[in-house]
Amino acid sequence: MAHPALDKKENVPTAGSFENDIKNADDFNDLSSNEHLTENRLPTDEERATLRLVSAPVPWAAYAIAIVEFAERASYYGCTGIFNNFIQRPLPLGGNGAGATPAGTQLTPGALGLGLKTATGLTTTFSFLAYVFPILGGIIADTKWGRYKTICVGTAIGFVAHVILFVAAIPSIIHGGHAIIPFVISILILALGTGLIKASVAPLMADQAPIQAQKITTLETGERVILDPGVTTQNIMLIYYWSINLGAFLKLGTTYAEKRIGFWLAFLVPLIVYFLMPIFLLITRKSLIKLPPQGSVVYDTLKVGKVLISQAGVKKALKGGDEFWNSAKPTQIAASGGLKNKKAGWIKWDDDFVDEIRRTFKACKLL
C-alpha cells in the first residue's frame, strides 16, 4: 500500500534550480547596479554636492497655461492703459466721433469728458478691486472649486466684461451719453474676473512640474546631472512672468488704435486676444494636472481669529499674551471641552499653525 506522504511530489531543490536562482539574482543585482549608476534615482549626498541642478522638461500644458496668462494680461493691460483718456477727455474736435484725433494733430483721444477727478476715482476703484478680488479667488480655488474651474469661471466673467466694454465704446452709445453706465459695470465685472483668474494661474502652472523629488539623469552630452523640482518650478515661473511681460506690450497697440481709429477698436483688440483663453483652457482640460482643493491658509487664519475673539474676548485680544493665543490651539480647546457639540473636522489647524500666526502678528507689531 502506497503511503500518501511518499506518493506526494515535493518541490525538492535540484542543482539546476539553484543555478537558475543564482543567475536570476545576479541579473537583478546587475540591473539594480545599472539603475543606481545612471538613471532615474535619488542622488547621494556626494552627488548633491558635485552635480549640477537642472530643470526637468516643462510639459506642454504649462506652456498652454502661459498662453492663457498672456491673453489675460494682454487684454487687461490693453484696456486699462486707455481708461484714463476714455473717461477724462472729451471727444476731440474734428475727430471721427469714435474718440480718435484728427490726422496730423497732437490732440489727446477722449470720449466721456468726465474730468480728472472722475477718471482717477474710477481707475483707482478698479485697481483696488483687481488686487483685492484675488484674495477671494484664491480662497474659492483652495476650498471649493479647484484652480482650473476657478480660472474657467473667471474667464467667462471676464469675457462678459470685455463685451460690455466694447459696447460702451460704440460711437452711437458715446454720442447718446449712455456710455458711462456700461463702462462702470464692465470694469467692476472685469475686476472680479481678474481676481478669480490671477490667484490660480501661477499655482496651476507650478502644479504641472513633472517631478516632485530630485532624480539623477544623463544628458545627451554624457553629463550626469540632477533633475531638481525647485529648479523646474523656477523655470516654469520664468515662463509665467515672460507671458505677463509679453502681454503688456498690447498696451502699445491699443494706444495707437484709440488715437488713429477710435476706442471701439482699442477695446475690440483685447476682446479678440481674450478668445485665446477659452481655446487653450479647452485644449488642455484633459492634459492638466488638477489637484483637488486642499484648504486655504487665509480661510484657516480667519477661523483662528474668530476662535480667538470668541474664546478670549476683545480685551484680551488687545493685550495679547500666551493665554490669548493658546485659547485657539486645538489641544487647549479639547482640554477645555470646546470640541463638544461641534461638527467633526471643523478644526483644520494645529498648535504650530497658531504659533506661526502669532509670530506673523509679532513681526507686524500688531499684538
Please enumerate in sequence order all residues whose Cβ is within 8 A of that of 106, keeping only pairs 6 or more positions apart, or say none.
none
Predicted pLDDT of residue 48: 87
What is the per-residue pLDDT for 13?
44
Q: Measured between alpha carbons, how far is 108 from 128 in angstroms, rounded to an integer?
A: 26
Give domain 60-283's CATH architecture: Up-down Bundle (1.20)
How far apart CA 157 and CA 90 sit, in angstroms, is 29
Residue 198's pLDDT is 94
Q: What is the pLDDT of residue 82?
A: 96
Residue 10's pLDDT is 42
**Residue 315, pLDDT score:** 65
Contact 292, 146 (CB under 8 A): yes
pLDDT score at 318: 61
Tens-level pLDDT at each residue, the chain (367 residues): 444 443 444 444 444 444 444 344 444 344 333 333 346 788 888 888 999 999 999 999 999 999 999 999 999 999 999 999 999 999 999 989 999 999 988 999 999 999 999 999 999 999 999 999 999 999 999 999 999 999 999 999 999 999 999 999 999 999 999 999 999 999 999 999 999 999 999 999 999 999 999 999 988 898 999 999 999 999 999 999 999 999 999 999 999 999 999 999 999 999 999 999 999 999 999 999 999 998 888 888 888 888 888 776 766 666 667 777 888 888 877 777 666 556 656 787 888 888 888 888 888 764 4
HSE-CB for 87 with a 13 A CA cutoff: 24
Query: What's the confidence (pLDDT) of residue 321?
Result: 72
Do the Cβ atoms of 153 and 140 come closer than 8 Å? Answer: no
CA gap 75, 251 in Å, rounded: 9
Q: Specify the pLDDT at position 93.
A: 92
Strands 224-227 and 215-218: antiparallel
DSSP bridge partners of 215: 227
Looking at residue 34, what is its pLDDT?
A: 39
Q: Which residues contact 313 (CB under 8 A, 6 or more apart)?
A: none
